[in-house]
Chain A
Amino acid sequence: MLTPRRLVLALLGLVALSCTVWYVRDPRLHAATATAATSASQPGAGATQPASRLRHAANTHASHESAGAKSVALPEAPEPLAKVYDVLKSRADSGDVDAATRLFHEVHRCVALRQTRRLLAEFHAMFADNPAASSIGIVRGGQRLQFLQPHEMADYVQANAARCDGATDEQLDSFTPLLLQAAQRGDIQALDCYVGTDFDGMEGVLDHPEWIGQYRDAVPGLVESALQRGDWVIVDLLRRDPYSEVYDSSARAQVFGNDPVMDYRLLRLEQLGATDEFAEWLAAKVAGAAKALSPAQLAAAQEWATDYYSRYFNSASNEVAHGTDICQITDD
């Protein structure tokens, strides 16, 4: 079980797109109330896995390395965002990388807090009188699942509210450009988050249409850099949902288009890093994806996957076997 200090959230606006919120039934009440659930263990399994679901695949992520020059001391960490935003922004705009990094993380925290509050309110409005409701489930893109515990979310709100009190919508809506900056500086978690963001999850985008072009220009390079850092998360994020029968209107899909070769490459790469059941599961997907390719395309794609795996990936891909959670924030 996660403690509030280690609570990791994947709750940003990007999950809002096409997401459905429901509750996970408390397994203790399952026997008394379930007639539709297929087995008692399944809801319980979902409800008891938030730690593994929410914990980022840490070993896929190189720690952020500040590339900038030493700067003067930053404001004390517990200072509220509203108090430090302007000074950090000013320093970041002047090229202070540490200030930019700090600003990104502070805004990230408060954006996550805002989203957490919204989800909690929605949960309580829908299920407050339902004692079977013990967790919140989110499906994004029709398949990726997250299970969040309302009491943990409430703890997160309580622990971070003071640091975000007084932050304006304008400050919070600066998250998207800050996220891009962090991704371009080399923060791999920010990179995954940015690539996985959808346009209607970019709060403030209606006033900043230039963010669309920035996304299109930046994403291909960011993806390549993530691949060359052995990031399984980006592999899992970009390969299309094998069973999706609907048009993928995500921002990243609009950038890369319908590309069977890319689908195969990424599936094959993920397969090379997989073991056990995950490898078996991927083998079927790889075989299916191969049908769309000519023999020459297939050979080239296999060569690409083998090359990238041997050069850049030195860990198992099983860590993304449960799906990819992006845009998480760890309370520090």
Chain B
Amino acid sequence: MPTSMNPHNRNRTFAALAIVVIVAGAAAWQYRSDRASTSAAPSDHAASDADTALVAVPRPATTTAAEVKAAKKPAPIYVLSTPLPPPNAPLTQVYADLKTRADAGDAQAASRLYRDVGRCLHTRDVLANQSRAASWMLEDDTSRLDADQLARRERRLGTIEDELAKARANSGLCEGATPAELQLAPVALRAAQLGDVQAADCYVSAGLTAGGGLLDHPEWLQDYKANALSLANSAVEQGDWTMVNQLQRAYAQSSGAGLLAQVTGGDPSQAYAYLKLRSLGAVTPQGNSFLSRQLADAAQNLPADAVTQGDTWAQNAYQQYFGANPQINTPRGFNPCQNIGAD
């Protein structure tokens, strides 16, 4: 918190926060998307193009909307879901049953398990970290703070108190959960495989590390390599702007693109195609203008036919997948693995 940071860092941090505000004001639109919540079986039509040369035609651009629709998809899994446990059932009481049902292909059970585990992770983290943060804030010397700084500090402490109250209310649902039951990666993967787009967003972005367990399960890396790209492509086909952003950053090898960038490899043509798709979902004229400039910059380094094909693919994808969800509305800095299952 700025009010109590290392004094040497404080100025820079204030500056940084101000800067973030400025940037956010200029470009917040670009991260906005609607987190599609419809469920469908994921397709696996796309394969890794990690070795594609810079001048290669982007894979999306070579695929028309009709071809995308006709692309090979696994047979949908139809499982009649029996009623889920009551919403306030403790995780330890429902974990085994939900896991069994999820493993058998019950999409609702898989999504419920993902959210229950996510909620307990969030509860654990709030209780541990926000309590600590609050205790440290209360130790700070406030004698040198001005009125605005004091007001910000009070607001922050109030927010922490609210978060702690919610976490305490949820703590009974999570009591006794084992570390293995709090591992997010496997439940996120299963829910994503059964069509939960929000679970896919989390799994693809930071699902392997968000809940711990990777140290004991390095095989998750191989699961990720085998599944991440097909899950990402499927999410895009369900109109998921969050995944469009993730794929664009991965193909561009942007900072913070995470493990997905290792799966996709760098591919400027594909990065352009997804950037074009994002531009079609831009909410404001400013956002559109900003992305247009980025597109023009990216196009300068591509052959003309790659640009044309990227434009065509993006138009087709936008019309086919984003008709019900035409505008990006994911907040800037949105973390798909944070606040899972929060009310």
Contacts and interface: CB of A to CB of B under 8 A. Distances in A.
Interface of A: 15-25, 34, 36-39, 41-43, 45-46, 49, 115, 118-119, 121-122, 124-126, 128-130, 137-139, 143, 145, 147, 198-200, 203-207, 209-210, 212-213, 215-216, 242-249, 251, 254-255, 258, 277-278, 280-281, 284-285, 287-289, 291-292, 321-323
Interface in B119-157: 121, 124-126, 128-130, 132-133, 135-141
A284 B215 contact: no
Contacts, number: 202
Contacts of B128: 258
Interface string B201-245: 000001011111011001101101100000000000000000000
A126 B224 CA distance: 30
Given A46-B16, A213-B218, 9 more contacts: A19-B256, A147-B12, A198-B209, A212-B214, A215-B215, A255-B215, A258-B128, A288-B132, A292-B132
B212 A38 contact: no
Q: Is the interface of B mostly helix, strand, loop or mixed?
A: helix
Contacts of B218: 209-210, 212-213
13 contacts: A36-B22, A200-B206, A205-B221, A205-B262, A209-B222, A212-B221, A242-B136, A245-B129, A247-B124, A258-B128, A289-B136, A291-B135, A321-B9
Contacts of A126: 27, 294
B298 A125 contact: yes
Given A22-B19, A36-B21, A243-B137, A278 B6 contact: yes
B297 A206 contact: no
A198 B258 CA distance: 10
B180 to A, nearest CB: 15
B25 interface: yes
Contact of B139 (A130, A254, A284): A284
Given A36-B21, A246-B338, A249-B206, A288 B139 contact: yes
A206 B221 contact: yes
A118 B211 CA distance: 29
Contacts of B20: 20, 22
Given A125-B298, A206-B221, A206-B263, A284 B23 contact: no
A39 B148 CA distance: 14
Residue with the highest number of chain B CB atoms closer than 10 Å, among A24, A45, A216, A247: A247
B209 A246 contact: no
B257 interface: yes
5 A-B pairs with least C-beta separation: A42-B15, A288-B136, A209-B218, A212-B218, A247-B125
Residue with the highest number of chain B CB atoms closer than 10 Å, among A15, A36, A323: A36
Contacts of B259: 200, 205-206
B7 interface: yes
A284 B141 contact: yes
B210 A247 contact: yes
Contacts of A247: 121, 124-125, 129, 210
A255 B297 CA distance: 42
Contact of B12 (A49, A204, A292): A49
B138 A288 contact: yes
A43 B133 CA distance: 27
B214 A46 contact: no
Contacts of A34: 18, 22
A16 B250 CA distance: 12
Contacts of A212: 214-215, 218, 221
Interface in B1-50: 1, 4-9, 11-23, 25-27
Contacts of B338: 246
B12 A249 contact: no
B87 interface: no
Contact of A43 (B15, B210, B222): B15
Given A206-B263, A247-B125, A16 B21 contact: no
Contacts of B133: 242-245
A118 B7 contact: no
A88 to B, nearest CB: 25
A24 B140 CA distance: 29
B278 to A, nearest CB: 12
A326 to B, nearest CB: 16
B253 interface: yes
A139 B333 CA distance: 12
B160 interface: yes
Contact of A200 (B12, B132, B208, B212): B208
Contacts of A45: 11-12, 15
Contacts of A37: 15, 18-19, 22
B93 interface: no
A209 B219 CA distance: 7
Residue with the highest number of chain A CB atoms closer than 10 Å, among B12, B135, B206, B208: B12
Contact of A280 (B138, B141, B222, B256): B141
Given A20-B333, A209-B222, A284 B140 contact: yes
Contacts of A277: 7-8
A16 B136 contact: no
Given A45-B11, A212-B221, A245 B18 contact: no
Given A23-B23, A199-B209, A288-B135, A42 B12 contact: yes
A251 B213 CA distance: 11
Contacts of A122: 252, 254-255
A38 B263 contact: no
A205 B160 CA distance: 37
A293 B211 CA distance: 25
A307 B71 CA distance: 66
B227 to A, nearest CB: 12
Nearest to B219: A209
Residue with the highest number of chain A CB atoms closer than 10 Å, among B19, B126, B297, B298: B19
Given A20-B256, A124-B297, A277-B7, A46 B15 contact: yes
B19 A24 contact: yes
